[in-house]
Structure 1
Amino acid sequence: MSLFSLEIKDLTNLGPDRAVSFFRKLLWAEALQVGISRNMIDVPENINVPDGGIDAIIRDANPTSDEVIPQGLTGFQIKSSDLCPSRCKQELHINGDIHNDLKPEIKQILESDGTYVLVLFADITTQQKRKREEAIKQELEEFGYRNPKIRIYTASQIIEFANRFPAVICYLKPHITSCMPYELWHKNFDVSNPYTFVVDPEREKIINDIRELIRSAKSTTIIRIEGLSGIGKTRLIFEALSPNDLKNKVIYFKSSEDFKNSTLFNQFKIDENLDAIIVVDECSSSDHDIFKNSFVNVGKRITLITLSHEISNYNSSFPTHYWKLEPLSQEKIKELLSEEFRGLPREAIDRISVFSGGCPRIAVLIANNYATVPTSYQGDFLFISDESLVNRLIAGRMDTNSERFKITKRVLMGLSLFEKIGYRDKVVEESKWLAEYLRIDWIEFQEIIAEQKKRGIVQGEHYIYITPFVLAVHLLKEWWEIYGNDFNLENFVGSFPDKFSKDMFERFISRFPYISSTSQGKKTIEKLLSSNGIFSDGSLFKTEIGGKLFLKLTEADPKAALERLKRTIGRWNKKELLEFITGRRYVIHALEKIVVWRDFFQDAARLLLALGEAENDSYANNASGVFASLFSPAPAPVAPTEASLTERLPVLEEAINSSSKERKRLALKAFEKALQSTNFLRMVEAEYQGGKPLPKLWKPKDLNEIIKYYKQVWKNLEEHLEVLEEDLREEGVEILLSSIRGLSVIHPELDEMARATINKMSSIPWIEKEKLIEVVSQILHYERSKMDEDTYVKWNKLKDNLIGSDFSSLLKRFVSMNLLEDYLMDSDRYNTKWVEINIDKLVKKCLENPDLLESEYEWLLTEKAKRGYLFGYRMGIKDINLIFLEKLIEKYKKINAINANVSMQVFGGYLNAMYEKDSALWEEKIEELSNDQLFRKFIPELTALSGMTTKIALNILNLAKNGYIEIEAFRVFQYRSVIESMSQKIFNEWIKFLLSDKTHKGALIALELFYSYYHDKKEVPYKLTLSILLHPVFWNNPKNVLHYQMIDYYWKEIALKLVDQYPDTVEKIAEQVTKYLGNAKSITVKTHFVVQEVLYELSIREPKSIWRIISKYLGPPIDERAFYLNEWLRGKKWDGTKGKGALDLFDPEDIWNWVNEDVEMRSRYLATFIPPFLFHSEKKVCLAREMLARYGDRKEVRRNFSANFASEAWSSSSSLHYKKVKEELLEFGKKETNKNVLIWIEEYVDWLDESIEYTKIEEERRGWNE
């Protein structure tokens, strides 16, 4: 009797639950063997659910053998013991009562001509079985079923069925075998840890392919999965075999030795009735071959699946189906950790996903470490407690006591000292140095690297590194523990190859953050940061390499780094700190990393304050910016530190109480951050410090903690307003006011605090009440939905109190202020009605009692009146009797005498209304004012605001000619529609006058006004337009007049309009543009491409004429003008797109004729700016190709065109870009027949090959291809 055979006693004592479960497994195994689709099988897992008389159903079966599963529909009723004939009858009826109807599912099977099978886990004789069959048949016939199909399976039959399936037997007898059924395999560590299984597209495809291979097999299915330890091979196969039709045939062996030594190994070969899916873990490629050869011809009854962490890159040809399992992506590792470790912080998950190298097992190990290692600047969660896993990762199945293993490990430890190290071609010297340093023969070193690359532990081509990262850290620590005692940094670094020493040093120190958890590594770090170390006098901080080294040392030991900073930079005076430039940003970044730890916050913050006081950097994350951000109440994960809010306040108080104005100003920036209530942002990185657990960044215990902080900060700043310098206190007020809206909606206490402060501020003379009203108005408009009724009423009452109800207060509210919210009273739709209604009320009161304005003119007629124009206009409309006309003139004269900020807005609005009502009267009044010594200078502004007539236009011109108004006064008309009503004749007179201005400022104004007046008119005057366009101010600019913004655009639009109307001007304009192209004083330099657009358009119109002009200035020699012409003619290449190369506009024959005038010089010169685009076309000449064909026999021509062709920009990987260019060029070359062109292609492809190699090395070094 075989161990894998069943006896009667094995079945008769199972009990109801196990009996049903066993037979269902048997059915699933049998179904797969006889070719029944799993979709036809209904075998519920829950055996305790009441049924209709049936425990399992198989529909529409067409088995290759019907020994167990009959044809068609079959229902199985399973009993764990014997039933006498009468009980067999009762079992057919509802509730076992023979007087009841048949059970519904039994009826359904019989009515469908199906087979009813009663399964009895009992040892009965053939005669007893026949009696039970007759009883069932008799009972069914009484219900009208003639010749019903019935079967009874007894224990002896079940044994016969089951003995074909070792997996089913193993379910009952797991204790006597070296293998496991699927259910027990589930409890294995490799399967159950982690509990969560995530799939990526690769794994999903492997799973589906394996299932399909097994189900559709016509012969033995042989599968091999290889991958690094911890990558999830075993779990993948477990999941692939999880469907019921597969898992019930699975038998799992932990190793190939277990399988070879098992009696089943030979039984599977000999017994043709045995059917199984055999999974063999830890199976070497040689053992796989043994198993493959043993079972390849046994037929589809056997599926063999072997797994190994030994990477052999097995030949996937028939009969083995081979997959090498790749690591999971970081996103999938994050998905796994998020599900497996529900309480793990998001930022920790992100960090672990990087460290894990895509191995689920390692990710779980690190996550478990993270959960158990206390958060501390001295902590380290990057360790692997599973030494066997480490050894398998290092050497697969290699004997760990062998010399080869020791050498392999030493090589990997050496590699782990560096982020990566050069290995091939131009950087091979680095690896040769390492092999020599490790005292390993170079040949053997290469063999080991090749082996480990094959396994996936070493990656990279030109630069190699160890993966997964946590293995590299493990080896790094081990190296320091073994060899660190005699380590001398100076000697070690000094032995680097000179050519690569600086780069190797940076890649070496990048590992420092991970060695501080080793005793020897810690000693090295402490020595470097000690009072006798290399940073003792602080001079090394002032170097680039010193800054980089210190930053890495900070990550390793933030405490020692802080002490070193305090004893060096902390003692520098302000002058020394201001002169600290090189290395400064590394120190600031180091302080960012130090300050995240609660224990070091205050000392690190004070150092940042000192650096911020002596700020010499304009970047946002300079010392000032970092210091200010420390006081943000942002919660984790965007909190800047572990320190609580109250632990941070003392430093802020020190800063605001400092005698240094710079420190106070810095404190105000910090107050602003401290009062921030939304949109918290922070660049994630400072908390990442080697293998240390992430700091427990601050997060509030409850809302009260935040409220208390806001109130403390608010009170502190409010109390300091009175004692701060004037400019600082204004800044302080702005900070408080800008914070109110965000804080007021957080909590009623903060809401009350904000209102109390505004009330207090309203009585402080130097605080403008308008600012307070603006803030309150914004709160009421934008935060209304967040307020309860009581709060809304309080804010409204405060607003009313601030505004006041008297005339003077209301006038200031609606005329001195111009709030956007005033126009959004009707929901969020812009509408001026509400503002106009309120201003009309004020105007009405003024007309009723003009004296009301007497005390208001002092500000009303100045720039303080933001709505002065509207107020003046509405007053002018309502003032029928013009009672305010003379009053305004009188008041303006008085105000102008005492206030330089007088504004014509009110009067301009008033006169605009007057113009609309009576233009003749308006004209009379403007003329009158023109004779007034005060108002003369304001006439252009008043006219621009109110209206224009021919008479007044001439009047303004005469005032200007007589020197009563400045030439700049004409600029007020640029964006005013009043000039549109001017006659062309008068307007042109203005332009002529402006062009005659000896300062040349008038010409700029003339261009602006000319564009405004003529841009939508059909015709421009010929001579006048040319006079403007050719005016010296735009070209040699002899008066050095500063050009206004948009001047070049106006010039271009007018020039194009002119040549459209007068084609004969094309050459004049082209000559002028070309002549001055590149002149530093001309408009062609400011934004030269705008003017070049004109040249481009002219070239389209008259290509031969334009070529004749530009060829005069083209060079050589190359001056600035020729440089800009070359750039314009060439066009640009960007990301493979073609720019507008103007040279394509011209007749190629004209170009070749120009070259032929001096072939030697001009052919090679043309090669530098000819559009660098190659193509074949019958419709268009490819200038670059034609040039090469004509002149490419000259080496200088080819060389210059190569430089031209290579001058381009792209945003992708350089090596990929060069590969793409090479492919395109070779494709172009396939159609090319010209010898010169082909020579150039060959030469350029050679250069591309060199460039591809070089950029690949550099990209690999920088990690851009990872």
Structure 2
Amino acid sequence: MVFEISPQEIENLEPDKFVDFVNHLIEAECHRLGIPPTSVKVTSKITGKDRGVDARIEDSENRADGRWIQPGLNVWQFKTDRSGSNATPGKLHKEAQKPGVRTALSEGAQYHVAVARCYGGEEREQREKALHEALYEQGFDPNKVTLLTADELARWASEHPSLLLLPHFRRPIGGCMRVEQWERDELHQGDFIPDENRAAIMERLRRFASSEESGIHMRIEGRRGVGKTRLVLEALKYQQLRERALYAQEPGQLPPELWAWLRDKTTTSAVLVVDECDEEEAIKLKAQADACEGRVKLITIGVGEPFLAEVAPNRFFLERLDDETTRQLLRARFPSLTNDQIAWIARLTAGYVRLAVACSEAFMRKPDIDVIQLAQAPEVHQVLQVLLPDPTERKVMQALSLLRRVGVEEDVAQEGKTLAGFVGVDWHDFRSIAEEMYRRGLVGKKGRYRYVTPDLLASWLAADVWSARGDELIELIGNLPTPESQESFLERLKDLGTHEKAREVVQQLLSKEGLFRSIDHLDDEERAKLFHTLALADPASASRSLERLLGDCSVERLRSFTRGRRWIVWTLEYLKWFKETFFGAARLLLALAEAENETCANNATGVWVNMFQMRLGGTEVPAMDRLSLIEEALASDSSARRLLAVRAIAGVMSPRELRWTSSEAAGARPVPQEWRPKTWGEIWDVYRSALRLLDKAMRDADQEVARAARKAFLQSARTVVSIGLADEVLDRLERFTPRNDEEKRKARETIEGLLKYESDKLSEDQRGRLTAIERAITGASFHDRLHRWVGEWSFADWDAHERGEGPPPQDQAATLAEEAFKHPDLLLAELDWLTSPEARNVFYFGRRLG
């Protein structure tokens, strides 16, 4: 028979292929019987320390039906006999006496000997007799042994048609393939990460295919490109289950005679998966499976609607992958992509798995790719084409894609009617097609509005219209019925920023003759939001526009800039990512920070400070290049700018870094890879330069700036030592002169922290230097000791006595009272200080003095 393995094919197998074949056969049969994989042990070795046992099945639940596998314990030996001398009666007699076989028989096992050879009546009888005698001689029941020759193995294997497709036999079943062939498809490579919906469907699929659930047919539906085929593959690829599955990429790959053979061969069973199968084909295939009396489990895959899954128990609708799981999948499959780049791809592909993977592959080849280029990449373009094969449907979708969202109902329906007229489609047909696209998941609903999804599809469709009718589209803006629809048009333009015609429009709007002629035009929330949208389309033009609008404004005007400020700060935060717009954006952030009027953490000041962080600066510009901006700020006549420069230096050396995420995924192109240091040398160079800038700030004529710089130095000291630059800190500490008690206490805390927590980074000489510096800063005079123990205690002062460094701080303060009582002149000199708020612990001193 065309779908059956012959005994001769088994006889011709090489020894290793015979072992592999019988392993596959045992796994397939165990799955049919419902014996779990944990109860089945097989070997891929032809020889080895197996003690005579090549396979072992522990059917503790007695699921076996006794045809090929017996209930309870079964052990197997595999023998090839191409030479005719490997399975002689004498050799089989010896095999039956091996320790592993003897032990299994003593446990009550059924002993099976599978030989890759056909034997005539007498030859077979001789071998069976030898096996029976061997068991009898050992005191076991001779009926506990079964001989399976190539004849029996061929009949058994023909009950599992997927075995015919093993490479050992090279026998096709139409265009069908086994799971291992199926999973080699390049579309199914990489980690599979299911969301909750997928995990639940996969579990139902496994239970269905394993006959743990009733029914003949299970249907998996969903939109094109959401990963239906991969989901079914992942559900069926597990041990045993994979041995019984046959996969056809489309119904035409099933040979017509297969169904007749399955129907007539009443001992045969299979799990049959048919892809690209529409509803009509699925109904026909189910009728064929029904005729096989439950021996064929049919799984069909096709495009369908979600509401059908609600009314049919064995029909499942696969939703698009949720955003978080999409990101996890891309992170696992493309580990070199940054989180921001992954977020950009996830935003554009909206849960279409195949599209997300195709976009990532295109991105890996060209990291500076934009939306338009991405849509034209061959692998991406192919997926997009599949989503919309019908030209009339594409025309309506092109119209809908021109706006971020299109009104189609009630008082906003004029938006849709205007677009329908633009593409020459009857309004009734326009609405019908839009509704059909909604059912397919390519159009989303938001109240009275419709929008194309995913974003990449919308951009691809809109770009086609701009290429063909760009000049007419410019006129269309003026014909749109409401300001909201015009704004929605410009929002779509954002993703088309690199398209020649679209870029001309964006640049015109951002020019001095466009929508924004002064800061007053930005000081409006809606206008500022629109500017932000245009900046995402064309960062370079937006940067020039902002420099024109804000560059010459006074501090007072920038401080009164409130209504549009938030959107402009977000815009600058986005612009700083790119090398060509970084410096302009940074200088404008500094100007806004100097005129700060917001209290949120990501205000202009926060963004300015954080962009100098070593690893999370939110820009592709190297840290060393960024320091020139701090140098500029330190040279400013504005003390406020010099203070902001000091804060930025502290940001450079901060041990804890954070960065806000706002518009990174929203632009027409992804943000570039964030700069990170690759060597310690790069880090050391940046830190040394930052410390030199801090030296300059500590000498600033404005005491507030100098004080802030000294504070930043002390706070950064431990971080600098921890990266291996201890001498840079020690040299400066030796020159450090505290200006007041607070600075003295902070200096002591810094030194004590270094000795306690960074001691392993210090040499013995460096530790000695630090101890000497601490003594010098602390001082030994009555004044020094009084201010230390009666003033605010440092962290180290609290537990100094536990380290053997004298009495507790309370007692130290009390002892000073005794000294003051003996020397009243010392007390009189400190009376004003003792009655000030700075004498935080005067109670202990005063109580003893009293």
**TM-score of the two chains, using structure 2 as the length reference:** 0.89
Is 1:627 the counterpart of 2:608? The answer is: yes
Deviation at 1:409, TM superposition (A): 1.4
Local SS of the residue matching 2:320: coil
Query: Does the 8 Å CA contact 1:309/1:392 hold for their aligned counterparts?
Result: no
Q: Among residues 132, 135, 160, which one is paired with 2:130 in the alignment? A: 135
Distance 1:658 1:430, change over 3 A: same
Q: String of CA shifts for 1:1196-1246, please: whole Å, max 9, x gaps.
A: xxxxxxxxxxxxxxxxxxxxxxxxxxxxxxxxxxxxxxxxxxxxxxxxxxx
Partners of 2:624 and 2:170 in 1: how far apart? 66
Partners in 2 of 1:857 and 1:571 — Cα distance?
54
Indicate yes or no: 2:402 matched with 1:411: no
Match of 1:240 in 2: 235
Is it true that 1:771 corresponds to 2:754 in the alignment?
A: no
Residues 67 and 820 (structure 1 numbering): CA distance in 2 closer, same or farther, change over 3 Å? Answer: closer
Counterpart residue number, 1:496 = 480
Residue 222 (1) aligns with residue 227 (2): no
Question: Are 2:306 and 1:331 equivalent residues in the alignment?
Answer: no
The 8 Å contact of residues 655 and 719 in structure 2, kept in 1 or not, is answered as no
Q: Structure 1: how far apart are the matches of 2:717 and 2:689? A: 18
Instruction: Find the residue that maps to 1:117 and give its secondary structure.
Output: strand
- Find the counterpart in structure 2 of residue 805 from structure 1: 780
Shift of residue 792, structure 1, vs aligned partner: 4.4
> Does the 8 Å contact 1:174/1:180 carry over to 2?
no
DSSP 3-state at the match of 1:205: helix
Partner of 1:435: 420
Deviation track 1:838-886 (CA, whole Å, cap 9, x = no partner) reads: 334433334444344465556556666555554344223xxxxxxxxxx
Distance 2:664 2:584 in 1: 17
Contact 1:536–1:564 under 8 Å retained in 2: no
- Whole-angstrom distance in 1 between the partners of 2:606 and 2:62: 77
Distance in 2 (alpha carbons) for counterparts of 1:827 and 1:483: 82
CA RMSD of aligned residues (A): 3.5
SS of aligned partner of 1:459:
strand
Pairing 1:683-698 to 2, within 5 Å after superposition? 683-698=660-675
Q: 1:144 to 1:422 in 2, by over 3 A?
A: same
Structure 2 contact 74–111 (Cα < 8 Å) conserved = yes
1:44 aligns with 2:42: yes
* Counterpart selection for 2:197 from 187, 195, 202: 202
Match of 2:628 among 625, 650, 660: 650
Aligned to 1:845: 819
Counterpart in the other structure of 1:1118:
none
Q: Which moved more, 1:559-568 or 1:641-650?
A: 559-568
Query: Within 5 A, what are the aligned runs for 1:477-626?
Result: 477-488=463-474, 491-498=475-482, 501-502=483-484, 504-530=485-511, 532-535=513-516, 540-572=521-553, 577=558, 580-615=561-596, 617=598, 619-626=600-607
Q: 1:442 to 1:770 in 2, by over 3 A?
A: same
- Report deviation, 1:584: 3.5
Q: Which amino acid aligns with 1:697?
A: E
Is the 8 Å Cα contact of residues 85 and 132 (structure 1) preserved in structure 2?
Answer: no
Secondary structure class of the residue paired with 2:292: coil
Q: Which residue does 2:757 correspond to in 1? A: 785
Q: Which amino acid aligns with 2:626?
A: R
Q: 1:536 to 1:181 in 2, by over 3 A?
A: same
1:185 pairs, out of 182, 185, 208, with: 182
Instruction: Report Cα offsets for 1:406-433 as digits up to 9, x if no partner.
Output: 1211222233333333444565454444
Any conservation in 2 of the 1:40–1:58 contact (CA below 8 Å)?
A: no
Letter in 1 for 2:583: Q
SS of equivalent to 1:46:
coil
Counterparts in 2 of 1:42 and 1:540: CA distance versus 1, 3 Å: same
Question: Counterpart of 1:649 in structure 2: which amino acid?
Answer: L
Asked whether the 8 Å contact 2:7–2:153 carries over to 1, the reply is: no
1:472 maps onto 2:471 in alignment: no
One-letter code of the match for 1:768? R
CA deviations over 1:494-522 (Å, ceiling 9, x no partner):
33333xx33x3443333333212333333
How far apart are the structure 2 equivalents of 1:508 and 1:14? 68
Deviation at 1:153, TM superposition (A): 2.6
Aligned match of 1:1181: none
Aligned residues: 840
User: Is the CA contact (8 Å cut-off) linking 1:63 and 1:69 kept in structure 2?
Assistant: no
CA contact (8 A) 1:214 1:303 kept: yes
Q: Match of 2:433, as an amino acid?
A: I
Match of 2:359 among 344, 361, 366: 366
Q: Match of 1:746?
A: 722
- The one-letter amino acid of 2:528's match is G
Q: Work out the CA distance in 2 between the residues paired with 1:85 and 1:652.
A: 88
Counterparts of residues 712-751 of structure 1 (less than 5 Å):
712-737=689-714, 739-747=715-723, 749=725, 751=726
1:212/1:345 Cα in 2 relative to 1: closer, same or farther (>3 Å)? same
Show CA shifts across 1:1047-1096 (max 9, x none): xxxxxxxxxxxxxxxxxxxxxxxxxxxxxxxxxxxxxxxxxxxxxxxxxx
Distance 2:829 2:140 in 1: 115
Do residues 256 (structure 1) and 251 (structure 2) align?
Answer: yes
Letter in 2 for 1:229: R
Greater CA drift, 330-339 or 616-625: 616-625
How has the CA–CA distance of structure 1 residues 104 and 802 changed in structure 2, closer, same or farther, with 3 Å as cutoff?
A: same
Deviations 1:41-73, CA, capped at 9 Å, x for gaps:
524153445423233334458678644334554
Paired position in structure 2 for 1:659: 637
Question: What's the CA shift for 1:308?
Answer: 0.7
Q: Which runs of 5+ in 2 are unaligned?
A: none
**Deviation at 1:218?**
9.5
Q: Which runs of 5+ in 1 are unaligned?
A: 395-399, 877-1266
User: Is the CA contact 2:54–2:78 (under 8 Å) kept in the aligned structure 1?
Assistant: yes
For residue 735 of structure 2, the aligned residue among 752, 760, 771 is: 760
Cα distance in structure 1, aligned partners of 2:66 and 2:793: 93
1:173 matched to which residue of 2? 170
3-state SS, counterpart of residue 618 of structure 2: coil
CA contact (8 A) 2:609 2:647 kept: yes
Residues 312, 455 of structure 1: 8 Å contact kept? no
Q: For 1:825, give the aligned amino acid.
A: A
| Alignment of 1:294 onto 2:291 | no
| Letter aligned with residue 676 of structure 2 | K
1:179 Cα deviation after fit: 1.1
- Give the aligned partner of residue 1150 of structure 1: none
Q: Does 1:444 align with 2:429?
A: yes
- Tell me, yes or no, if the aligned pair for 1:526 and 1:560 is still in contact at 8 Å: yes
Shift of 1:720: 4.3
Higher RCO (CA < 8 A, seq sep 6+): 2
Question: Which letter maps to 1:332?
Answer: T
CA distance in 1, matches of 2:316, 2:643: 64
215 and 730 in structure 1: CA distance in 2 versus 1, 3 angstrom threshold: closer
Distance in 1 (alpha carbons) for counterparts of 2:25 and 2:385: 41
In structure 2, C-alpha distance between the alignment counterparts of 1:505 and 1:742, rounded to whole Å: 55
Supply the distance in 2 between the matched residues of 1:512 and 1:835 (Cα, whole angstroms): 68
1:710 aligns with one of 663, 687, 690: 687
Cα distance change on mapping 1:419 and 1:702 into 2, 3 Å: same
Q: Which of residues 296, 303, 310 is equivalent to 1:309?
A: 303
Residues 1:81 and 2:81 aligned together: yes
**Cα gap change, 1:599 to 1:90, in 2 (>3 Å):** farther
Q: Secondary structure at the match of 1:277?
A: strand
- Whether the 8 Å CA contact 2:31–2:240 is kept in 1: the answer is yes
After TM superposition, the score normalised by the length of structure 1 is 0.61
**Secondary structure in 2 matching 1:304:** strand
Q: State the 1:358 CA deviation.
A: 2.6
AA at the equivalent of 1:590: T
Contact 1:252/1:279 (8 A) holds in 2? yes
User: 1-side partners of 2:10 and 2:412: how far apart?
Assistant: 70
Paired with 2:515 and 2:732, the residues of 1 have a C-alpha distance of 53
Please state whether the residue corresponding to 1:308 is helix, strand or coil.
strand
1:825 corresponds to: 800
CA contact (8 A) 1:12 1:155 kept: yes
Amino acid at match of 1:693: P
* Aligned mates of 1:122, 1:833 — CA distance in 2: 94
Contact 1:315 1:322 in 2 (8 A): yes
Per-residue CA shift, 1:471-490, capped at 9, x if unaligned? 333333333333334321xx
**2:11 alignment counterpart:** 12
User: C-alpha separation between the residues in 1 aligned to 2:426 and 2:13?
Assistant: 65
Q: Distance in 1 between matches of 2:592 and 2:311?
A: 67
Question: Offset at 1:278?
Answer: 1.2
